Amino acid sequence: MSSFAPTSTSANTSSTSYAEFDKEDVEFFKGISRIPYKPDAGPTESLVYKHYNASQVVLGRTMEEWLRFSVCFWHTFRGTGADPFGFPTLIRPWDDGSNSLENARRRLRASFEFFTKLGVKYWTFHDRDIAPEGGTLSESNKNLDEIVDLAEQLQKKTGVKLLWATCNLFSHPRYMNGASTNPDAQVFAYAGAQVKKGLEVAQRLGAENFVFWGGREGFHSILNTNIRAELDHMATFFRLAVAYKKKLGFKGVFLIEPKPKEPAKHQYDYDAMTVIGFLRTYGLENEVKLNIEPNHTTLAGHAYEHDIVVASAYNMLGSVDANTGSPDLGWDTDQFPMDVRNATVVMQVILKQGGLQPGGLNFDCKVRRESTNLEDMFISHIGAMDTFARGLKNAARILEDGIIVRHVEDRYSSYKSGIGAKIEAGNTTLEELEEYVQTHGEPQRISGQQEHYENMLNFYL
Ligand code: XLS
Ligand code: NI
Ligand code: NI
C-alpha cells in the first residue's frame, strides 16, 4: 500500500503572528484556569476533577504523593496528529511547525503553563523533543543547552519537576539499524556521546530517573543479525552509562522500558521478564529498574497489568507510562488510560509495594488526531487522572478490606506447613516427594475460582 505521507511537516497554513507568543507574560491557554476539584460536577463539565483531589489522604498519603502524575512533552507538545495516511490535524497557535529555537522556546513556555493549570508536578522529555538536532553533535548540544537554560528557569518558577529524561536514539536515520546494538561501532559511539550529554542535562534539571527505551534495539531480519554480539554490546552500553552516572554523581534511577516490537520487528527489551533476565545475565540488576508501559505489555500479548505485576514481584518496578492501547488495533496507540478496572489493578500493585517514588505515572499518551480542540489536551489528562484517582480509592478499599488478599494467601496455604514448608525452604528431595505421594496419594482437586475473583474485584469498582 502506498503511503499518503504529508508533503509539509508544518501544521499551520494561516498567517498567524507567532511573535505575540514570544512576550514574557503571554497566556497560551486563554479561558482555561487552574483545574479545580469539583466532586459534584455533572457529566458534561469536563474542565474539573471529579475524583482527583491532590491533597486528599488515602492510606496515609495524599493522592498527589501516591499518583505522582507527569505530562510527557513529546506527544502533548510535539504531536501533530499526522499519521502514515494523513497530514497534521492538531494546530497549536504558538507552534509555527519549524525547527527553530524560537519555536522550541514557545512550546516549552506553553507546556509549563499547561502543567501548572493542570496541577501536575512532573514532566518528561526526550533530548530531541525539547531542542532541535543540529548538523553536528556540538551544535545539537549547544541547542540543548540553550533550551535547558529556559527549562531550568521554568522549573524554578513553577515548582514543576523532571520525573525523567531520555535520549531519542531512534528517530535520526543514523539509528535505523539500532543505537547500542548497531552493527556499526561508529553509531554505538554516537549513541554513547548522546547519552553522555543526556545524563548531564538530566542531572542539571534534577531528573529523578533516566529512561532507556530501545525502539531500534532489535532486528527486522534474523538473517543479517548476530544476536549475541548485539546483546553483549547493549550490556556494555549500560555499563558505560552506569559508570558515567557514578562519575557525575547523578542520583536518578536508570529505567529500561520494555516493548516487544514497533518500530523494530523484534525488540530485545521484549517484556518485563525478558528485561529482568537480561539485567541478571549481565550483572546489571542492581543498577537498572523498569519503566512499564501497559500499551507495550498488551502488544507483547499479555494482560494490561501483567508486566507491572511481574516487575513489582521482583522489586524492579520503578515507574509507569500510564497509557493504553486499543484492543481492536494491533499497535501502540498511546491512548489516555480511561478504564477504571485497569487503573484499580495497577494501583493495587503500586500500593502494595509502598508507592512508585521516585517514579511516577507518566502520561505517555496522545490525544486522537480527531481531538483537535486545545481544550482536548486538558480533558484527556483530566480524564486519565480521574480514572487513576478512582483506581487508587478502589485499590485502597480492596487492601483495607483484605478479602481478596486473604483469598490468594489461602490458596497457597499448603506451603505453610508439612511438605509444603519443606519445599518452600528448599529443603526436600525428589526421593522424599516420592515417599510423600506414596503415603498421601492423589491430590484433591481444588477450584481456582476465577469467576469468584472477578466478582470480588467488580464489587469494588
Ligand atoms: C515508545 C515509547 C517511548 C518511551 C520514551 O513506544 O513508549 O515513548 O516512553 O522513549
Ligand atoms: Ni513510553
Ligand atoms: Ni510506547
Cα separation values, 457 from 353, 399, 450, Å: 19, 11, 11
Of 79, 104, 106, nearest to 94 by C-alpha is 106
Classify domain 15-404 at the CATH class level.
alpha beta
C-alpha cell at 397: 478499599
Task: Tell which residue, 55, 73, 180, has the closest CA to residue 126.
Answer: 73
Which residue owns the Cα nearest ligand 1 atom 4?
A: 213
Catalytic: 407?
no
d(CA 32, CA 35) in angstroms, rounded, equals: 8
Strand residues in 167-277 grouped as ranges (E): 209-212, 218-219, 253-256, 266-267
Q: Which residue in the list 51, 75, 126, 233 is annotated as catalytic? A: 126
For range 306-318, the mean pLDDT = 98
Looking at residue 109, what is its pLDDT? 98
Residue pLDDT, tens place only, 187-242: 999 999 999 999 999 999 999 999 999 999 999 999 999 999 999 999 999 999 99
Residue 401 and residue 384: Cα distance in Å, rounded? 26
**Residues contacting 331, CB < 8 A, separation 6+:** 262, 299, 325
Q: Which pLDDT score is estimated for 328? A: 86
Q: Which atom of ligand 1 is nearest to 291's Cα? A: 9
User: Measuring from atom 10 of ligand 1, which residue has the nearest CA?
Assistant: 213
Q: How far is CA 421 from CA 234, 414, 425, 445, in A?
A: 41, 8, 6, 20
Q: Distance between CA 36 and CA 31 in Å, rounded? A: 14
pLDDT greater than 50 at residue 428: yes
Segment 28-34 shows an average pLDDT of 97
- pTM of the predicted protein model: 0.95
Atom nearest to 213 CA in ligand 1: 10
For ligand 1, the distance from its centroid to the CA atom of residue 258, given in whole angstroms, is 9
Residues with Cβ within 8 Å of 131's Cβ and at least 6 positions away in sequence, in order, are 101, 104, 140, 143, 144, 146, 147, 148
pLDDT band at 419 (very low <50, low <70, confident <90, very high): very high
**What is the residue-wise DSSP string for 76-123?**
HHH----BTTB------TT--S---HHHHHHHHHHHHHHHHHHT--EE
- Among 324, 304, 308, which residue's Cα sits nearest to residue 316? 308
Domain layout of the chain by residue ranges: 15-404, 419-460
Q: What is the reported pLDDT for 24?
A: 86
- Section 124-148 average pLDDT: 98
- Averaged over 23-51, what is the pLDDT? 96
